[in-house]
Amino acid sequence: MRKLYFILFIALLAFAGCKNETQAPLAKAQQVKNAVKYAKGLQIFKYDGITVVKVTQLWPDAKQGFTYVMQQKGAVVPDSLKQFTIIPVPLTSVIVTSTTHIPSLEMLGVESTLVGFPGTDYISSQKTRALIEAGKVKEAGANESLTTEVVIDLNPAAVVAFGINSTNKTLNTLEQSGLKVLYNGDWTEQSPLGKAEWIKFFGALYAKDAQADALFSQIEKDYNDALALTKNVTKKPTAMAGAVYQDQWFMPQGGSWGSLFLKDAGANYLWADAEGTGSLSLSLETVLDKAQNAEIWIGPSQFTSLKEMTDANPHYSQFKSFKNKEVYSYSVKKGKTGGLIYFEMAPNRPDLVLKDLISIFHPELLPGYQLNYFEKLK
């Protein structure tokens, strides 16, 4: 489990459920305004009981995209759209494959439609955990890998998957069995609001577009209100991030999700100028040379105490932020079965993540604020 979390940490800081699509789906949809503002890999067009959802960024540097047609009861699908995967909505049952999908289901009030998930122990939400414990959500695999026989037996109205590359034999098999497989690319987004906007993907699946739009609009407002707090800060505390894993120190590149959060929180992230949206891989010596006097340390991987850190690597104690006990981790707060709440909730609630970080770097801006996802290590 620890290794999986580290892989997820790197990804955060950083098949064939439908037909391959390289051209625009139809002229009429192009005349309807795209309902997406921030997400780079998602487009949504709405009209007359039909919602066209285009997922254009499935994994980094993906060369293909997919188009899905959400059909409400009584709506007629135009001939020009019949070549694409048609999904009757609202969904009556679903299997999702990432914990980041769970908050969207709950925010829309449709978590009861979830019938399976691969690796249910990673789910932290109390609502969905109650469904799991009641036997209403079945174990459908492990570590995001679906078990074909279980999924086919559950026979969900749709399977919402994510892809690392263009090869996924399991998803191909599920589609060949007659199941509807849809790709969700929320994990490839780098802007905080871009990730959160994927709630509109689920809004389309449940014919709750207006509700999804309203939920996202509130998150957007709250994020921008928090961002305004740091607009005029004059002192930006220096920040470092990450930790050593298998002799390499991993931390977010300058264009990544994690780095952008630090910028918006009014921090001076020491690797903010590192090009790229993934993770840097550096030697401990390189990090120590540049960040020994960094004021605050954010996200030291899986560690939950200062002692745990030095037990793993005594060199951590050489950093000023460690000596001053200014180390903040998202790994302390866990669900009932050990899932990290941050990995599940943070992509959907960037407003809360930003407020956490503002409180850490500029506590005077949010007096009395209680951290949601981070905790100062003791």
Question: Which of 132, 137, 90, 136 lies closest to 110 in space, CA to CA?
Answer: 90
DSSP H helices, the chain, are: 2-12, 27-30, 102-107, 126-133, 148-154, 169-176, 192-196, 199-205, 209-229, 257-264, 284-291, 306-312, 320-323, 341-345, 350-361
Among residues 207, 223, 239, which one ends one of the domains?
223
* % of residues, the chain, pLDDT over 70: 90
| pLDDT for residue 10 | 40
State whether 255 and 143 are in the same domain: no
Among residues 206, 223, 240, which one ends one of the domains?
223
Domain at 290, CATH number: 3.40.50.1980
Considering 158-162, 166-170, 361-365, the range whose residues carry the highest mean pLDDT is 361-365
Among residues 223, 244, 266, which one ends one of the domains?
223
Question: Which of 26, 9, 2 lies closest to 299 in space, CA to CA?
Answer: 9
| pLDDT for residue 312 | 97
Per-chain mean pLDDT for the chain: 90
- Give whole-number Cα distances, 137 to 119, 219, 244, in Å: 11, 28, 36
| pLDDT for residue 164 | 67
* Tens digits of residue pLDDT in 175-207: 999 999 999 999 999 899 999 999 999 999 999
Low-confidence winner among 5-14, 59-68, 292-301, 348-357 (lowest mean pLDDT):
5-14
SS3 at position 372:
coil
* % of residues, the chain, pLDDT over 90: 83
User: Average pLDDT of 34-41?
Assistant: 94
The amino acid occupying position 159 is: V
**Left, alpha or beta for 290 (phi > 0: left; psi -120 to 50: alpha)?**
alpha
| pLDDT for residue 13 | 39
Q: Specify the pTM.
A: 0.90
Domain count, the chain: 2
* Tens digits of residue pLDDT in 44-55: 999 889 999 999
* Beta-ladder partners of 86: 69
- Give whole-number Cα distances, 218 to 144, 175, 223, in Å: 30, 36, 8
State whether 149 and 284 are in the same domain: no
| pLDDT for residue 32 | 67
At 243, give phi and psi (nearest 5°). -165, 180
User: Average pLDDT of 49-73?
Assistant: 90
Please determine, for residue 271, whether its predicted confidence score (pLDDT) is greater than 70.
yes
Please determine, for residue 369, whether its predicted confidence score (pLDDT) is greater than 60.
yes
Range of the domain at 326: 230-376
Specify the higher pLDDT residue, 166 or 205.
205
Structure tokens at 295: 């004021």
| pLDDT for residue 58 | 84
State whether 210 and 258 are in the same domain: no
